[in-house]
Amino acid sequence: MESNNITLQVQQLCEMIHLLSSSMDDYLYVYDFQNDFYYISPSAVSRFRLPNNSFYDVMHVHEQFVYPEDYSLLKREIHELRTGNRYTHNMMYRWLSRDRTPVWINCRSNIIRENGQAVYMTGCISEINSQRKTENSKIIPGTSGFHSYLRNITPFLSRGAFLRFGIDGLKSINAHHGIEYGNLILQKTTEYISANLLPGQQLYHILGDEYMVTDHQSESAQTSIQLYRQVSHNIEEFIIANNYEAMFTISCGIILCKDIDDFSYSDVMKLTEFSLNEAKRRGKNQYYLFEKEDYEKFLRKNALTQQLRQSISNHFEGFEAYFQPLVHSNTQKIYGAETLMRFYSDSFGTVSPTEFIPILEETGLIIPAGRWILNQSAAACKKFQQYIPDFKISVNLSHVQVLKSRIGNDVINAVKEYDITPESIIIELTESGLLETDSHLNQMWSQLKKEGISLALDDFGTGYSNFAYLASLHPDTIKIDRGFTVRALHNEYEYQLLSLFSSMAHELKLSVCIEGVETSEELLSVCELSPDYIQGYFFGQPCGFDTFMDTYIKNHSAGGA
């Protein structure tokens, strides 16, 4: 496109705007980026503090009639339109009327590009909540309107609530039914929320598929909950009326004003986002009422996640390998150890594995951390074997490692690097993590089996047990979970079931390790089941390398238990 043609097109647009202006309540405009030129319907001059309906040096002139607190938002928006790849503009903010009164407007336009460069934008400006004929367009204030609202409310509110609605499944609808149908969903959602608002409640469209309702009159959460239920019911009726053409639901995060300490824009947005995300995390199509305890756990999890990242980056500072003895059931002599990961930081103290291991798995940090614990295990095994030559080390693998890393290669490399035999390593896999890893697991296990590495199925009997794994994986050992052990020791039926498990495993030439033995009485009962190995606090709690070496390895070498 040549510059002369661009100028000609802009001139033609200006002429069309001039012709249409007298027959429209809204204001048409064109913004020529290349010449930094702006033209708007002449009627806008009598309504707003514009110097003229056409001018150059566009953003500088806009400072004269854009509400000061909204100017920086507009300037950033225009910069993103010019430098990014967006083709549409839809923004709600304020202009100043001739008497300097702020007037909410909705500015919508298309950006014309040539070879990736923004050439000009042309669109329409509508007033919001005015006497003009914009009510039929269902336009509601947006993010900047909500920002302004918060700046003007009472600093301390003891009544009312904020409700943050989010449409579940809109992206899928856009992908399968098109943007136009997605826009219909947005329109209907806006209508349903608006139709159910009570006096004193205000609706804002804050993001593409998210809405905020403010309510500073209600005494309890019931009013907010009822609003959510009514909107959800309206959506169900819409779906039925449209013959289930597209399925979507709505979730809502509710926070009472009495639970908010700071009514700043950033804090309210942060708390309501947490509440909405919590509703979605719990299954969607429901509401969640903010609880400070939940939010504190959320903040702790975020802070702990950051601490774990930093620790891993800083050469695994705070991580430590602990070892728990594994013994022969007949001699009660130590033959190996299970390696367990522990974590400590100055900020959090000693963190339970039940807290930090799931975080490592969710973030993928379990991959470097798992590789680290694997190498720690192999290195320790090499040192233990100086005293007990046939000592074995057992290492837990996460299903995330199986799915998202080449853990088979890592195991083989650790065996080679620390010069131990493949038979020295036992890989433990928890059944609860195997359900989605079949193809990856079979590939990894075939690789390790060829190298002579043993496999143990951990936590057998926890409720996830799948006998298909016994056939497909042919593990070497089944480890009976302590929960199952405790139940069996106090219930005859469970004891007989455990006895059958043990007999079945031995018939299949599998070894059985019973975990969780803590007392001499439990030991006597467990030994009647003829397990091959036993593990539990009766023989020793997990401890660091030096303590394990002094207490179990050197003691064993000297003739101790």
Residue ranges of the domains in the chain?
3-137, 143-290, 314-557
pLDDT number for residue 134: 34
Q: Which CATH code of 1.10.287.70, 3.30.70.20, 1.10.1380.10, 3.20.20.450 fits the domain covering 314-557?
A: 3.20.20.450
Rounded to the nearest 5 degrees, what angle is found at the Cα of 477, between the Cα atoms of 474 and 478? 100
In whole angstroms, how far apart are CA 472 and each of 145, 206, 446, 502, 561? Answer: 60, 52, 11, 19, 37
**Residue 97 DSSP one-character state:** B
CA separation for the pair 262, 162 (Å, rounded): 13
Q: Is 65 helix (H, G, I), strand (E, B) or coil?
A: coil
CA separation for the pair 482, 338 (Å, rounded): 15
Q: Which helix H or strand E contains 121, and what residues bound it?
A: strand 117-127
CA separation for the pair 293, 545 (Å, rounded): 37
Backbone angles phi, psi at 171, to 5 degrees: -60, -40
The CATH T-level fold of domain 143-290 is Alpha-Beta Plaits (3.30.70)
- Written as six digits, the tokens of 496 are 């007989």
DSSP 327-339: EETTT--EEEEEE
Q: What is the pLDDT along the chain (561 residues), one digit of tens a residue?
A: 444 555 567 888 888 888 777 667 789 999 999 899 999 998 898 889 999 999 999 999 999 999 998 898 889 888 888 887 777 788 888 899 888 888 888 888 888 888 878 888 999 998 864 433 333 334 678 887 888 888 877 666 778 999 999 999 888 888 888 877 888 899 899 999 999 998 888 999 988 899 999 988 788 899 999 999 999 999 999 999 888 888 899 999 999 999 998 888 889 999 999 999 999 999 999 999 999 999 999 999 999 999 999 999 999 999 999 999 999 999 999 999 999 999 999 999 999 999 999 999 999 999 999 999 999 999 999 999 999 999 999 999 998 998 888 999 999 999 999 999 999 999 998 755 555 556 777 788 888 989 999 999 887 766 545 566 676 778 899 898 888 888 888 889 988 988 888 898 898 889 999 998 999 999 999 998 899 999 999 999 999 999 999 999 987 655 554
**Adjacent-strand bridge partners of 105:** 93, 127
CATH 3.30.450.20 correct for 3-137: yes
pTM over 0.85: no
Strand ranges (E), 417-510: 425-430, 454-460, 477-480
**Adjacent-strand bridge partners of 108:** 90, 124
